Amino acid sequence: MTQYKAPLRDMQFVLHELLDVEKQYAAIPAYAETNRELVDSIIEAGAQFSENELSPINRSGDEEGCQFDQGVVTTPTGFKQAYSKFVELGFGALSADPEYGGQGLPPSVGIAMSEMNGTANWSWSMYPGLSHGAVNTIEQHGTEEQKKTYLTQLISGRWTGTMCLTESHAGSDLGIIRSRAEPQADGSFKISGTKIFISAGEHDMAENIVHIVLARLPDAPKGTKGISLFIVPKFLPTADGGVGARNGVSCGSIEHKMGIKASATCVINFDQATGFLIGPPNRGLNCMFTFMNTARIGTALQGVCAAEGSFQGALSYARERLAMRSLSGPKAPEKEADPIIVHPAVRQLLLTQKAFAEGGRAMVYWLSTQTDIITGTTDADQRKAADDLMSFLTPIAKAFLTEVGYEAANHGVQVYGGHGFIREWGMEQIVRDTRIALLYEGTTQIQALDLLGRKVLQSQGAMLRQFTKIVHKFCQANEAKPGMADFVKELARLNKEWGEVTTEIGMRAMQNADEVGAAAVDYLMYAGYVTMGFLWAWMAQVAQDKIAAGSEEADFYKAKVQTAQFYFKRILPRTQAHVAAMRGGLEVLMQMDADHMAF
């Protein structure tokens, strides 16, 4: 099994050379003291932790899994110790508010840390990962008393957080949840109901777990407009911030899953549990979107982690594995066969993994710099522009990156051949662990409806135009630059086509709204490929400038340009299949009677 190695050089390329985060930080008063030296030192420390503490317990954690005994969940060997070290190093507090014990660093620094943790050991990373969303939700919507009670403990890592949305009968349709919240004389509420699929809902790594729960008040209107949000701790806090009496919260069972076996996925029962309203009554879903958007970016990152982890393993194996001779003649005549990396078909798999890993990293990190602006700037117009861009890109990043990350994970198995199907090599675990990413925080299909229906058509295309204008300006600025013509020409064509196909769908949807659902997934994948194409063209431009300036790292930058060329020639043409499918329309999907689908 390949030992994870943090791709520090590429992470630094994206942060410092592509995004120039130091310049952005300097323009945001809250982050003005964050310089490159500090960022690199944190990332390097995170790399050591991920490589030395998390990667070694990744496979063993999968083999052992979580154990459940009468409501008590025990995490695999080494998980609790690794979490204690994580807390000791202060990694969970990097981007949190200093007023409550955080270090006040930009969120983009935290996303780099999350990537390393997640690639090294995705199951482990979910425990502290869920806490970030709980912190953000309480920061934005909690009372001052709630912030003082919960934020310090969550930020320190002594307590962890969850999000409790799903119920067995409801799934993603939160408008029909049944959990109840009964008001009490002291201003608290009694929460009753059962939630399923709760990641990190019960474990032995922290002294308390703070559940963020959706429930209905007695007089709540039906549907999504009648949902409220509550803080429901496993143990009630004491006046001095400690752990008090056990609340009416229990773990009924843990799920037996295809992957992420070392992450406890729990059924959580609330039996007249004491809860505290967060945000306005019946506006819980609006408040929860703070948590959900945070989680969706984290899930998008899982696609990057899958591609990176699988690529590292596949590349190492392909360099060493001998099989057959190159069709154009032996490349290693002194050996009994050539390394499989010389074969074009294997190169196709490896370069696809590399393109998705590095392109996905650029996409998620770029999104995180928008979070920097949203959380740190004092300029209202700047904040709104960043918020709109992030709102538009989030469903693309979440769904597209998890889809292509899963594809890359499967390529890893393929490169290993039969060995990839064997557990000891680690490739099949990445496939199993990653499959859930296409489902949780809203399936690809739900994200596609959000993108096309809400973000694009309901805004009359305003959010789309904001992004395509960025792409248009890039094309204008680089069309005459040496080496950029092929990138710019195709990117400009796709940028124009995107608007045209959106108009076509919108016209059809005026006659039948189901046309939106028929086109949505292909629309999202098209959007993902074009967005990543923009980022690869941008990376190629930066790399070519470095080469022209005489950089001593010419090989690194040359590989960037070559990967961009591969993406544009061998992956970006997939957009045309999605356009053809979108234009295929609704009728062929709906004309068959459901009773006739099987005989």
Please tell me the predicted confidence (pLDDT) of residue 296.
Answer: 81
Q: Which residues contact 128 (CB under 8 A, 6 or more apart)?
A: 83, 86, 91, 92, 117, 157, 160
Beta-sheet pairing, 249-254 with 265-277:
antiparallel
- Round to whole Å and give the CA distance between 356 and 358: 6
Instruction: For the chain, give every residue range classified as CATH 1.20.140.10.
Output: 287-444
- Residues linked to residue 254 through DSSP beta bridges, in sequence order: 266
CA 86, CA 121: separation in Å to the nearest integer?
A: 13
Q: How many CA atoms lie within 13 A of 250 on its CB side?
A: 8
* Backbone torsion region of residue 67, taken as left when φ is above 0, otherwise alpha when ψ lies between -120 and 50, otherwise beta: beta
Place of tokens 């010419």: 554
Give the 3-state secondary structure of residue 218.
coil
CA proximity to 528, closest of 377, 407, 348: 407
Collapsing DSSP to helix, strand or coil, 245 comes out as strand
Find the farthest-apart pair of alpha carbons in the chain and give their distance in angstroms, rounded. 84
Amino acid at 10: D
* Residues catalogued as catalytic: 441
Angle in degrees, CA 140, 141, 142, rounded to 5: 110
- Rounded distance between C-alpha atoms, residue 502 and residue 99, angstroms: 45
Beta bridge partners of 195: 268
Q: CA-to-CA distance for 515 and 388, rounded, in angstroms?
A: 25
- The CATH superfamily label for domain 287-444 reads Butyryl-CoA Dehydrogenase, subunit A, domain 3 (1.20.140.10)
CA distances from 407 to 255, 360, 432, 572 (A): 25, 13, 12, 15
The pLDDT value recorded for residue 294 is 66
**Which residues fall within 8 angstroms of residue 529, CB to CB, at 6 or more apart?**
400, 571, 572, 574, 575, 578
**What pLDDT score was predicted for residue 287?**
81
233 phi and psi angles, rounded to 5 deg: -80, 150
How far apart, in whole angstroms, are the C-alpha atoms of residue 566 and residue 308? 17
pLDDT value for 223:
86
Q: Structure tokens of 420?
A: 């990839």
Residue spans of the chain under pLDDT 50: none
pLDDT of residue 188: 98
Residue 427 one-letter amino acid: M
What are the beta bridge partners of residue 328?
Answer: none
Supply the pLDDT for residue 317.
Answer: 98
Q: Which amino acid is at 195?
A: K
Q: How far apart are CA 495 and CA 469, in angstroms?
A: 9
Quick one: three-class SS letters along 80-117? Answer: HHHHHHHHHCCHHHCCCCHHHCCCCCCHHHHHHHHHHH
Give burial (CB, 10 Å; 0-12/13-18/19+) of 460.
exposed
Residue 79 CA to residue 587 CA, distance in Å, equals 52
Buried b / exposed e along 553-581 (16+ C-beta atoms within 10 A): eeeebeebbebbbbbbeebbeebeebbeb
Strands 208-215 and 159-164: parallel
- Pick the closest to residue 71 from 268, 233, 284 (CA basis): 268
